[in-house]
């Protein structure tokens, strides 16, 4: 039977490097999440219904915020002048429209189809682009974090 003694050197240096680079890694993660959100919004603006352009022009991505260990980026559509963003986003054809007095609801009730004003546009105009890209986010965040720790 053989006995081995193993000594690992450099643990203290590794801990120092990780502690020194942690803030940089956090900033890199925030930047990557923000960039990802901007890309989703850009894709969304290709499928948001456009009649006057008012709805599309309210699309925005807010800067990242931090609370404890959580980084949040908010994105969405609508403002005080365009209070109908959620209604259009959720305007799925079906038996229970949000408001039966909306023009699209009346049209659907008569058996018509909603005119989304341009090919590919329609409901879930933010959700669909997000779902299409969501599988990319973990890898992108991981890469940003690892690359920041390496430097």
User: Which pLDDT belongs to residue 21?
Assistant: 81
Which domain, by its residues, includes 131? 11-150
Query: Please, are residues 22 and 41 in contact by the beta-carbon 8 Å criterion?
Result: no
What is the tens place of the pLDDT at every residue in 51-110?
788 889 999 999 999 998 899 999 999 887 777 777 777 765 544 555 666 666 676 677
pLDDT at 2 over 80: no
3, part of any domain: no
Q: Is 72 helix (H, G, I), strand (E, B) or coil?
A: strand
122, part of any domain: yes
User: Which pLDDT belongs to residue 94?
Assistant: 47
pTM, entire model: 0.76
DSSP 48: S
> Packing angle between helix 11-44 and helix 137-150, nearest 10 degrees?
140
User: Which pLDDT belongs to residue 95?
Assistant: 47
Neighbours of 104 (CB within 10 A): 21
What is the tens place of the pLDDT at every residue in 12-67?
887 887 788 888 989 999 999 999 999 999 999 999 988 788 889 999 999 999 99
128, part of any domain: yes
Number of domains in the chain: 1
5, part of any domain: no
13 φψ region: left (φ > 0), alpha (ψ -120 to 50), beta (else): alpha
What is the tens place of the pLDDT at every residue in 112-129?
666 667 778 878 889 999
126, part of any domain: yes
Exposure string of 75-97, with b = 16+ CB inside 10 Å and e = fewer, is bbbbeeeeeebebbbebeeeeeb
pLDDT at 4 over 80: no
User: Which pLDDT belongs to residue 45?
Assistant: 95
User: Which pLDDT belongs to residue 69?
Assistant: 85
């Amino acid at each position: 039977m053989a006995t081995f003694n193993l000594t690992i050197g450099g643990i203290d240096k590794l801990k120092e490097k990780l502690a020194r680079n942690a803030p940089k890694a956090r900033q890199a993660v925030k930047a990557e999440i923000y960039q990802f959100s901007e890309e989703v919004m850009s894709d969304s603006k290709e499928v948001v219904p456009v009649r006057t352009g008012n709805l599309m022009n309210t699309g925005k991505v807010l800067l990242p915020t931090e609370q404890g260990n959580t980084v949040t980026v908010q994105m969405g559509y609508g403002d005080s002048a365009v209070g109908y963003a959620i209604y259009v986003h959720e305007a799925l054809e079906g038996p229970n429209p949000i408001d039966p007095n909306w023009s699209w609801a009346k049209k659907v009730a008569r058996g018509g189809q909603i005119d989304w004003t341009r090919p590919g546009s329609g409901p879930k105009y933010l959700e669909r682009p997000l779902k299409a890209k969501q599988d990319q986010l973990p890898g992108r965040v991981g890469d940003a974090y690892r690359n920041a720790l390496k430097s």
